[in-house]
């Protein structure tokens, strides 16, 4: 089995790039549009046409001008890492452009972008078996990386990319954000001379910077939770310190709404305090394969009470009816603001009328997605009861 080679062990970083990444002639590349901003410069969509090969879309990361030698080295280290991997669930490196400016890294283009925003955009539109298929792809990519002795350290739905066939691929192999104290991204919190994404990171990695495939398995459990909740933010609006304290007290995230029990059990396995007790990625892939072969097992969801011996954080339902002053506030609270105009046009303009809504009413005003109907009706039921649970429960 091939083992990952850290490009930072090379005396000359350029040699690592030459070893692991193919140099592409800039004349083969046509940049079409800017699609985002990266840590070092713009991210663009473009076309790559190598003579004798089919033209294809690529994502292009550029290194903005005025860079230092260290920034160039850090930027290209991602290509030196990515270029060592060949797997259907790992983002594929097409090559680099280092012979001209700007310096560029070219990867395959993933039409649906980052998994977290893609799921939020398509809230409720995928079946459990489709979501498990996505999770299986991510686990397969992570199994490959762990077998190559590569530790990702930043596994999160924002770093998984999705193509037009819903294939999920692990991406973002840059290491510099962990090494830079001055990064302003609030996702990454200073810890022992580096930046750590607290909500996704295993306790031993936060406390002692002990990053292993077992700490990646913890992060994978959080990715499972993100996927099954259609891109909800892990630990909601809790502060990073509150997250650390809750985990230290053995609290864990509850199952997302309608999450199959078997999947939440697997999440809890990934969140074992003892890293040796967490499943290896090969075990995760096998467990998901069993569920895919037996779809009926995905129909069993958690009962009202938590089914584990671990205390679970409260699911934080929307505020009670008395706490919402308007239909607009209520829809915002349950993240269904997209239907505000439809509710208004249909005459559902106050909360008393909202409390009487039926499935037929929702269909009539254009709420056709089953997931959205369930979310709205479930919230109405909660609002009727006017009951606010405590913040933490056993």
DSSP symbols for 162-229? E-TT--EEE-----HHHH-TT---TTSEE-SSSEE-GGGS-HHHHHH----HHHHHHHHHHHHHHHHT
Q: What is the pLDDT of residue 224?
A: 99
Residue 302 banded pLDDT, cuts 50, 70, 90: low
Angstrom distances, CA of residue 376 to CA of 103, 336, 367, 385, 387: 49, 8, 9, 14, 17
Q: Which of 204-213, 231-240, 345-354 has the lowest mean pLDDT?
A: 345-354
> For the segment 49-65, what is each residue's pLDDT rounded down to a tens digit?
999 999 999 999 999 98
Q: What is the pLDDT of residue 5?
A: 93
> For the segment 348-373, what is each residue's pLDDT rounded down to a tens digit?
988 888 888 889 999 999 988 877 88
Is 314 among the catalytic positions? Answer: no
Q: What is the pLDDT of residue 303?
A: 58
Angstrom distances, CA of residue 43 to CA of 3, 90, 109, 145, 392: 29, 19, 11, 25, 42
115 touches 163 (CB < 8 A): no
Mean pLDDT, all residues of the chain: 88
What mean pLDDT do residues 63-71 have?
A: 90
Strands 56-62 and 42-48: antiparallel
For the chain, which domains are there? 7-108 (3.30.200.20), 113-176+195-298 (1.10.510.10), 327-387 (1.10.150.50)
Residue 189 banded pLDDT, cuts 50, 70, 90: low
Q: How many CA atoms lie within 13 A of 326 on its CB side?
A: 8
Q: What is the pLDDT of residue 388?
A: 41
Which one of 154, 216, 250, 289 is the catalytic residue?
Answer: 154
Q: Is residue 43 within a helix (H) or strand (E), and if so which, with residue range?
A: strand 42-48
Looking at residue 37, the DSSP 8-state letter turns out to be E
CA-based nearest residue to 162, from 89, 97, 59: 89
Q: What is the pLDDT of residue 194?
A: 61
Angstrom distances, CA of residue 242 to CA of 106, 236, 237, 239, 245: 39, 11, 10, 5, 5
Looking at residue 328, the DSSP 8-state letter turns out to be H
Q: What is the pLDDT of residue 300?
A: 86
Cα angle 281, 142, 253 (rounded to 5 degrees) comes to 70
DSSP string computed for 53-112: S--EEEEEEE--SS--HHHHHHHHHHHHHHTT---TTBPPEEEEE-SSSS-EEEEE--TT
- Helix (H/G/I), strand (E/B), else coil: 46: strand
Looking at residue 152, the DSSP 8-state letter turns out to be -
Q: What is the pLDDT of residue 381?
A: 76
279 touches 221 (CB < 8 A): no
Beta partners for residue 60, in sequence order:
44, 106
> For the segment 323-335, what is each residue's pLDDT rounded down to a tens digit?
677 888 888 778 7
Q: Annotate 268-281 with b (16+ C-beta within 10 A) or e (fewer).
A: bbbbbeebeebbeb
Tokens describing residue 224: 């499972």
Phi, psi of 236 (to 5 degrees): 50, -125
Q: How many other C-beta atoms can be found within 10 angstroms of the C-beta atom of residue 70? A: 11
CA-based nearest residue to 123, from 339, 316, 297, 363: 339
Q: How far apart are CA 268 and CA 146, in angstroms?
A: 20
């Amino acid at each position: 089995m091939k083992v990952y080679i850290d490009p930072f062990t090379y005396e000359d970083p350029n040699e690592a790039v030459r070893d692991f990444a193919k140099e592409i002639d800039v004349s083969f590349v046509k940049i079409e549009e800017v699609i985002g901003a990266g840590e070092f410069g713009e991210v663009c969509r473009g076309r790559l046409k190598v003579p004798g090969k089919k033209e294809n879309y690529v994502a292009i990361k550029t290194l903005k001008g005025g860079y230092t030698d260290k920034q160039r080295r850090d930027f290209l280290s991602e290509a030196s890492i990515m270029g060592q991997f060949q797997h259907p669930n790992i983002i594929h490196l097409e090559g680099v452009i280092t012979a001209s400016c700007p310096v560029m890294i070219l990867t395959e283009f993933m039409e649906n972008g980052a998994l977290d925003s893609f799921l939020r955009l398509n809230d409720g539109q995928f079946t459990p078996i489709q979501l498990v298929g996505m999770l299986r792809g991510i686990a397969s990519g992570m199994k490959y990386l762990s077998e190559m002795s590569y530790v990702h350290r930043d596994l999160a739905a924002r770093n998984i990319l999705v193509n037009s066939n819903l294939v999920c691929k692990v991406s973002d192999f840059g290491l510099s954000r962990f090494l830079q104290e001055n990064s302003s991204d609030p996702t990454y919190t200073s810890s022992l001379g580096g930046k750590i994404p607290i909500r996704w990171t295993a306790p031993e990695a936060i406390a002692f910077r002990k990053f292993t495939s077992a700490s990646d398995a913890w992060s994978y459990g959080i990715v499972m939770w993100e996927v099954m909740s259609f891109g909800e933010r892990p630990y909601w609006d809790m502060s990073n310190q509150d997250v650390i304290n809750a985990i230290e007290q053995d609290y864990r995230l509850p199952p997302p709404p309608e999450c199959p029990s078997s999947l939440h059990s697997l999440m809890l396995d990934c969140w074992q305090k003892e890293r040796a007790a967490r499943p290896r990625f090969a075990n995760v892939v096998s467990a998901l394969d069993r569920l895919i072969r037996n779809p009926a097992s995905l129909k069993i969801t958690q009962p009202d009470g938590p089914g584990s011996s671990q205390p679970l954080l409260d699911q934080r339902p929307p505020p009670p009816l008395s706490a919402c002053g308007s239909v607009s506030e209520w829809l915002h609270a349950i993240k269904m603001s997209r239907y505000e105009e439809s509710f208004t046009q249909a005459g559902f303009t106050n909360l008393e009328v909202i409390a009487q809504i039926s499935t037929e009413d929702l269909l009539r005003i254009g709420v056709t997605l089953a997931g959205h109907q369930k979310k709205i009706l479930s919230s109405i039921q909660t609002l009727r009861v006017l009951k606010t649970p405590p913040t933490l429960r056993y």
